[in-house]
Structure 1
Amino acid sequence: MKLVNTHKLILLILFLFLKMEIASAQVWTLKQCIDTALVHNNNLESGRNSIAIGKEREKEAKAHLLPKVTANADYKYFTDLLYQLMPLSTFNPAASEGQFNEIQFGVPHNINANLQIAIPLYNADIQGAIRNTNLASELTELKYQKSEEEVYFEISNLYYNAKIISHQLNFVKANLKNAEKLLENLQSLKNEKLATGTDVSKIELQISQLKNQEQNLSYKYDQIINALKFTMGVSLDLNLEIKTNIKFQESLQEESGIILDYQIAKTQEQLIQSEISTLNQSRFIPNVNLVGSYGTTGFGYDQSPNEFLKFFPMSFVGLQLSYPIFNKGVTKRKLKQKHFELENNALQQELISEANAMKIENAEMQKDMTEKSVLTTEEQIALAQKIYNESLLQKNEGLVNLTEVLLAENALREAQQANLTAIVDYLKADLELKKLRGNIKNINY
């Protein structure tokens, strides 16, 4: 029985191990990488927190419209009672005018307790804060969308770079294999006195260069994959593999979407206008509050035999107006600053519009150029394939040696590699164009 349980445990461990191996060898598509980054990317998580902070600030600004209720209480013990001057004629009608006599009155123990309420009927600062926090939240959401677009662009760009490096690495490995075959062939020819030592040394040098190139490309590929993991927000220990197939698919031209840089600048303009409006309102319109108080006042005396403690109600309601008459010109200076900010914002909007138009035109030219390169390299592949096939036939007929076949094969691989590079360049150009037009989320997976 123990032996059976042991076998079951071993099988379970092997099953889990194989399952982990399969999971670790999972190939990630571009869409999976982007979806993962949208959830785990640190910049996006920070952006979501900023949006939540903005929502709380909106609630905070609106909370100032609610009644403010405070409870107050105080106790005072007067070691010296208050003095007041009274006209002497109050006590002596014969006293002349202008004569006074000091009087000490009151009791030593004083107790006050009340509830006070203040309701803002109109307050320019509160109304302005509500408008400003709404616009600030909108601005934060636009910046978050901008961060999302940057993640789409960075992930796609890194993914395409990893693809092309992977193919370059395979290309170098194939060339290295051919070079080693060529070296064996030349060494045989040298032994037969049909090749020189210089020919052999040249191939040995080529092999050394290819090995160094292979190592450099391998390091570069690992660096790109690490950057991809970092941007995705996953652990660098994750065994991440990508789909290396590269397929040309012509992208149709799309209408421009929302240009977030311009939209951000436009929202910033609205925010500045709102701040100017708030400053003007606080400058000319008084703040009005409805105020009220309900409480009691207590008086006490502690000397025998006349000690007492009595309480009397005290309450009121009223209106409170606050109007700034002179504040050293602070508001005027702030208004001038805001008008300068408006001018800068207008210049920024114009710059964004012109720069984006220029970049779109350049990106369209780059896309057209890379599309033509794809077609040209396809023709070169067909020609290189024809030469390679002819070399194979000639070798079978004994007209050429292995060296000629290997050279033709290398030429074919170079043409294929050039085609793959052209396709990736086309995808990058299309990606840049989508980013500039505000359609980067419509990328071809």
Structure 2
Amino acid sequence: MKKILFSLFGILLSTLPIHAQWDLNRCLDFAKANNKALLAQKQQLRVADYEQKIAAAKFLPEVNLAIESSYYWKIPVQSYPGELFGLPAERVAIATGSKLSGNYDVHINWNAVDMQSWQNSKLEKLKSQSVAYGIQSMEQLLLRNVTAAFYNIQIERQNKDLSDKLLAKHLLIHQLLSKKFQEGLLDKIAINQSTAIRRQYEKYQAEQEMAYQKAVLDLKYWMGFPLEEPLELVAVSVNIAVLRILDFKAEQLPDYQEKEASIKVAQQRLQASKYYRMPQLSLGSSFGQIGFGEQLSTFTNFSKWHSNGYVGFRLRIPLFAPGGAPTVKRNRALYEQTTQEFVAYQDQEKKRYLQLQLDLKQTATTLNAQEDLRKLAEENLTLCNQKIEAGIMDMIQLQQIQQELIKTVTAENKVRLDYLKNQIELNYLQNETQKI
């Protein structure tokens, strides 16, 4: 028994996601299943499906059972002319009913012809489809955000590793300078300058660590991952590849189907409102029994109860509906507004797509220049360290080179991140793969 429990415990531990390495695909799968906004959107689809069923249920017959029973401690009377009973009095009070009375009936009502309800049912179906397209749009947005956050972490990881590397290199230099100071070959000023440079590297390292942690927190949020739990990601190299620029197609926009469905909803709402003048025909039927008795034994003898029933129809013809015409005009205006917004949406997204193309080309050019500057700064730092190791002390030059290196690396990483964001955004706008 203990072996079985230990085996089950081991299997459980092996399935815990917080101790596993997470790649981009796994992050995306987890986000689709756990993102809070997406789950709320899916719940909205369930609500829309129920609204559709409620609208369709209006065309089914409605069946009701009514049961009533009364005990009269004082039987009511009715006034009748005395001549009906051969009495001289003008009016005679006659008790009606008995101490015990009861009745039951089964009533069926069916809205056989109701064109406006039929149009409303079609409207609810289109609303449900619109919500479903909204979920697809949300999934595409989530795919974009998780991808951008994942690669942002990779860049911040590289920044953090670089800051660790720079600090480690300078610590070696600082140890060398401290040794020369103890030997009397170096004055205190050089040691203080070296300490100031070390503090700058430590500050840069702390800033990169904080940026990395914020990037991880951002990814956890989009994934719906527990914010307090650790998330270990697979380290991948971020390659700046040449993006294959596609021609803009509005049909490929992630929100295109949702926006198009909103037009169909507005059109159907207009169509449904036009039926306010249509007659409505309902069919009804009822069957029941009524019984009387002075005592419970006679009252419960159902063979003596009196049956009743009917079959009929009800035709409702609207003659004056003051709110009908304004409702139609309002819905027509909403339909035209939705159509115009759809056209404006396509133009806006096309402009955005073309702007991103320009931004991508510009950042690619800037990135190449920043890479060259960073390489020069790294080479200068290496040469300066070699001079110090050879006994040629120039701490002012070392501090300037250090500041220049941090400045160029920060600028390069910002441009690299902008390039990746533009690339991911272009992919998102045309439903292309999000991988870099």
TM-score (norm 2): 0.78
Q: What residue number does 1:272 align with? A: 266
Q: What residue number does 1:425 align with? A: 418
Q: Which amino acid is 1:214 matched to?
A: Q
User: CA shift at 1:271, angstroms?
Assistant: 2.0
Distance 2:287 2:375 in 1: 96
Distance 1:224 1:418 in 2: 18
Q: What residue number does 1:107 align with? A: 97
Distance 1:128 1:176 in 2: 71
User: CA shift at 1:262, angstroms?
Assistant: 4.3
String of CA shifts for 1:385-410, please: whole Å, max 9, x gaps: 8x689959x98xx8989999999999
Q: Which amino acid is 1:237 matched to?
A: E
Counterpart pick for 2:232 among 218, 230, 240: 240
Aligned 8 A contact 2:109 2:283 in 1: yes
CA gap 1:361/1:140 in 2 versus in 1, 3 angstroms:
same
TM-score (norm 1): 0.76
Q: What residue number does 1:362 align with? A: 355
Aligned 8 A contact 2:75 2:95 in 1: no
The answer to whether residue 216 in structure 2 is matched with residue 225 in structure 1 is yes
Counterpart pick for 2:428 among 414, 429, 435: 435
Q: Which amino acid is 1:246 matched to?
A: V
Q: Which amino acid is 1:295 matched to?
A: G
Q: What residue number does 1:43 align with? A: 37
The answer to whether residue 170 in structure 2 is matched with residue 179 in structure 1 is yes
Q: What residue number does 1:146 align with? A: 137
Alignment of 1:20-39 (within 5 A): 26-39=20-33
Aligned 8 A contact 1:166 1:244 in 2: no
Q: Which amino acid is 1:50 matched to?
A: Q
User: CA shift at 1:157, angstroms?
Assistant: 1.7
Q: Which amino acid is 2:225 matched to?
A: V
Alignment of 1:380-419 (within 5 A): none
The answer to whether residue 435 in structure 2 is matched with residue 444 in structure 1 is yes
Determine what percentage of the aligned residue pairs are the same residue.
Answer: 17
Aligned 8 A contact 1:185 1:402 in 2: no
Q: Which amino acid is 2:168 matched to?
A: K
Q: Which amino acid is 1:129 matched to?
A: N
Q: Which amino acid is 2:193 matched to?
A: K
Q: What residue number does 2:309 align with? A: 315
SS in 2 for 1:119: strand
The answer to whether residue 334 in structure 2 is matched with residue 341 in structure 1 is yes
Aligned 8 A contact 1:246 1:423 in 2: no
Counterpart pick for 1:133 among 118, 124, 127: 124
User: CA shift at 1:56, angstroms?
Assistant: 2.3
The answer to whether residue 202 in structure 2 is matched with residue 211 in structure 1 is yes
Distance 1:239 1:81 in 2: 81
Distance 1:91 1:21 in 2: 93
Aligned 8 A contact 1:374 1:419 in 2: yes
Counterpart pick for 2:63 among 65, 69, 73: 69
Aligned 8 A contact 2:266 2:335 in 1: yes
Structure 1 residues not aligned, in runs of 5+: 1-7, 93-99, 303-307
Size of the aligned set, in residue pairs, is: 417
Q: Which moved more, 1:147-156 or 1:423-432?
A: 423-432
String of CA shifts for 1:200-226, please: whole Å, max 9, x gaps: 433321210210221122122122212
Q: Which amino acid is 2:350 matched to?
A: A
Q: Which amino acid is 1:264 matched to?
A: E
CA gap 1:111/1:406 in 2 versus in 1, 3 angstroms:
closer
Counterpart pick for 1:157 among 138, 148, 161: 148
User: CA shift at 1:377, angstroms?
Assistant: 5.0
Q: What residue number does 2:298 align with? A: none
Distance 1:184 1:65 in 2: 88
